[in-house]
Amino acid sequence: MPLHTPEYEQFLELLKQQRLDTGVSQVELSKRLGQTQQYVSRCEVGERRLDLIEFYQWCEALGVDAIAFFEDLRRVLKKHRSFHAK
């Protein structure tokens, strides 16, 4: 499976936006996750793909509800699909 599908790009954009909206830097998030800043950066730009458990830990570290995030992602993906279907 390719690392950069349009849907995954939307996921990454929303994930980064959540971090920015909570006012958390990459450095702070990396500390909360027990990872390096490079790990956070590589995840956000798509050089490293997050699995479901890592995604959940990311949400917990930001204080973001994972279910609400998925609902937002679903809306974004539906909008993105309908835009490209025209």
Which CATH number characterizes residue 70's domain? 1.10.260.40
Closest CA to 73 of 4, 15, 5: 15
pTM: 0.85
Residue 46: CB atoms within 10 Å = 15
Domain that holds residue 74: 6-85
pLDDT tens-digit map of 11-69: 999 999 999 999 999 999 999 999 999 999 999 999 999 999 999 999 999 999 999 99
The size of the chain, in residues, is 86
Residue 51, Cβ density class (10 Å: 0-12 exposed, 13-18 middle, ≥19 buried): exposed
Residue 84: CB atoms within 10 Å = 8
Count: domains in the chain? 1
Average pLDDT of the residues in 70-78 = 95
Whether 10 is in a domain gets the answer: yes
